[in-house]
Amino acid sequence: MAGKQMMGRLVSLGLGLTLSLLPAQAKPSKAHPKAKHERRATPQRKRPRKASSRLPQPTPHRLVLNSLSVLVQDQQTGKELVEKAPDTVLPIASITKLMTVMVVLDARQNPEEELLIDHQDLDLLRHSRSRLPLGTRLPRKEALKLALMASENRAANALGHAYPGGMSACVAAMNAKAKALGLGHTRFVDPAGLGDENVSSARDLVQLVRTAYTYYPEIRRDSTTAETELQSGSRSLHFINTSRLVRGGQWVIGLSKTGFIDEAGHCLVMQAQLASRKVFIVLLKAPGKLTHFGDANRIRQWLERRP
């Protein structure tokens, strides 16, 4: 019994010795974290698209005009470049004086004949001011000039009263000429344009301006005169053109006429050269005293930007 116990102890001791002599198994090593300096994978960049060889064409700036009715026509081709309600019939105020001067010139009256400014030439409708005093005597050619460039109402009325047959004959001749020119929207009641029944449309007025520019060199000259002097007795009277575009000298203008009464607003008709192109411009019923000139400048800039 004791021998067996002894034998068992020896076996256990030998086994323990054997196990202690065996190499220890290597413990699995922990995974090392990635080095901080290691680059991260970056997503591939998309290749840029090839630029189109066709560049976008600039679009013309939008033209915004404040006049109620507008028409711009190429003088050479007759093409309408800008239009806004061109057939609307409106009062035209002193634009009327263009037709007054045309029929007076048609009558071939003596340009040197003296006209007298008297009470019948006063504006009793609107009581507008005039720089021509009662009793002023002036040659017909000077009355024509003042009616155009300074828009003198007394000068226009004097021309009407001195017309063969008087004022009524003058107005009748104005309406007859409008009919002959095919101006179906146009009607006149006085030579100065003071009545609101002097009416027309922008389309009719382009034709009127074309006729005046083409056949009446006196109108071209007088309507674009910037300023003039008139001797009345011992007084020297100074008159300036009612168009600041004519006075400014930065436009090439071949004919010009302005107009204003309350019902018509501010009006302007012109022949001018814009962007190497000759055009007729009609602006009717502008709300402010400078608005029609502003519209004209906007039209000029817009045409100069166009290809």
Domain boundaries, the chain: 69-305
* Helix ranges restricted to H, 119-166: 140-149, 153-161
Catalytic residue, candidates 67, 84, 97, 200: 97
Nearest to 272 by CA among 231, 303, 236: 303
**Binning pLDDT at 50, 70 and 90, where does residue 37 land?**
very low
Task: Look up 234 and say whether it is catalytic.
Answer: no
Structure tokens at 196: 């609101």
DSSP E strands in 15-156: the ranges are: 69-74, 80-84, 90-91, 114-116, 137-139
Buried b (16+ CB within 10 A) or exposed e, 50-66: eeeeeeeeeeeeebebb
Number of Cβ within a 10 Å radius of residue 293: 19
The reply to whether 69 belongs to the active site is no
Angle ∠(194,272,170) on CA atoms, nearest 5: 30
pLDDT band (50, 70, 90) for residue 16: very low
In three-state secondary structure terms, 298 is helix
**Measured on CA atoms in the order 289, 293, 296, 302, is the torsion positive or negative?**
negative
Tell me what percent of the residues of the chain surpass a pLDDT of 90. 76
Percentage of the chain modeled with pLDDT above 70: 80
Judge contact between 209 and 98, C-beta under 8 A. Answer: yes
Strand 252-261: give its sheet, edge to edge: 80-84, 69-74, 277-286, 265-274, 252-261
Average pLDDT over residues 168-182: 98
Q: Which residue has the higher pLDDT, 41 or 152?
A: 152
- Looking at domain 69-305, which CATH architecture does it have? 3-Layer(aba) Sandwich (3.40)
| Structure confidence at residue 30 (pLDDT) | 47
The residues facing 187 across adjacent strands are 199
- Give the pLDDT of residue 28: 45
Asked if 16 contacts 8 with a C-beta cutoff of 8 angstroms, the reply is: no
Catalytic position from the list 67, 69, 84, 94: 94
Q: Which amino acid is at 216?
A: Y
Quick: pLDDT tens for 39-90: 455 555 555 454 444 433 334 468 999 999 999 999 999 999 999 999 999 9
CA–CA dist 212, 78 (Å, integer):
16
Whether 18 shows a pLDDT value over 50: the answer reads: no
Is 179 known to be catalytic? no
Q: Which of 67, 69, 130, 151 is catalytic?
A: 151
Q: Which residues are CB-neighbours of 111 under 8 A, at least 6 positions away? A: 139, 140, 141, 144
